[in-house]
Amino acid sequence: MPRRRPHPRSRGFLAFTAPDEDFSLVQALTSLNGLGSAGHPLIVGYNIIALGDDQHPQARLLLLLQWLEASYGFDQRAKFDAQQEKHTVERTSLLAKLKTMKDNGELTRQEWKLAKRIPRFAQPSLGEALSHYLKLHNDLDVSAKLDKTTLIKEVIATSEATNVTEALTKVRNGLSHGTATYDAIQLLDVVQDLHPLVRAEYLRLLGGSFNADSLRY
C-alpha cells in the first residue's frame, strides 16, 4: 500500500472537544447509542480500522464518500420524502401526457421507450452531500485543500467537472462502476484531506467538535 504522508502537527491536541464545560461523556454515549439504534449510517458505519494502511486508498475513498452521502440522506429524510412525493406526482402527470402523444402518433416507439426511463425516485446526490458538509465544517478548509491535490486538479482539467464536488463525484462514479482508475498516491492525498470532514461530522453528531490537528497519519 502507498505510504501515508507524514503528519507535521503537534501531538498535544485532542480529537474530541466539548462545546461547553457542562458536556459529559455520558451525553456523547447516549447520542451514540440513540443514533446507532436509529440506524444512522455514519454512526453505525464509520470505522477507523476500515481506513487503515492495509486498505487500498481507492477503498478508503469510496467508504468516506459513501458515509457522507448516506449521512446526508438520513439527516434530510423528511425533506427528501417531500421531494419524492412531488416528483412522483410530476412524473405520473408527465408520463400520462407522453402516452397520449404516443397514442396519437406524435412519439415514436423509441421515444416512448426513452420517456419511460424518467427516474422513479428523487434521490439526494453526492454533490449535495459534499456541498452541505464542506459548508457546515468550513473551518477545516477541506475544499481548498482538496482543490490543491493532483487528482482533483487533473480531473477538473480533463473533464466537464468545474469544482471539487463535481470532481469527487466523477471520481466516485468512475471507481464505483469500474469505468475509471486513478493513481493510488493521488487517491491517498484525497483520502487524507477528506477524512477530517467525515470525522468532524461524526463527532458533531455526538455533540462534540473536532480539531483537525489531532488527526494524524
Query: Please, which residues bridge with residue 209 across strands?
Result: 17
Q: For residues 8 and 29, what is the distance between their CA atoms, to the nearest angstrom?
A: 31
pLDDT (tens digit, 9 = 90+) per residue, 86-141? 768 888 888 888 888 888 888 888 888 887 788 776 677 899 999 999 999 999 99
Burial class of residue 5, CB neighbours in 10 A (0-12, 13-18, 19+): exposed
- In this prediction, residue 2 has a pLDDT band, given cuts at 50, 70 and 90, of low
Residue that is written with C-alpha cell 463525484 in the block:
169
Query: Please, which residues bridge with residue 16 across strands?
Result: 210
Triad 48, 140, 200: Cα angle to 5°: 35
Q: For residues 73 and 130, what is the distance between their CA atoms, to the nearest angstrom?
A: 11
**Contact assessment for residue 196 and residue 212, using Cβ atoms and an 8 Å cutoff:** yes
Cell of 32: 451514540
Query: Please, which residues bridge with residue 17 across strands?
Result: 209
Percent of the chain residues topping a pLDDT of 90 = 52
The pLDDT assigned to 99 comes to: 85
pLDDT (tens digit, 9 = 90+) per residue, 5-26? 544 443 333 455 666 666 778 8
**Contact assessment for residue 64 and residue 198, using Cβ atoms and an 8 Å cutoff:** yes
The pLDDT assigned to 109 comes to: 83
How much is the pTM? Answer: 0.76
Choose between 172 and 207: higher pLDDT. 172
The pLDDT assigned to 141 comes to: 94
pLDDT (tens digit, 9 = 90+) per residue, 195-217? 999 999 998 998 877 665 555 54
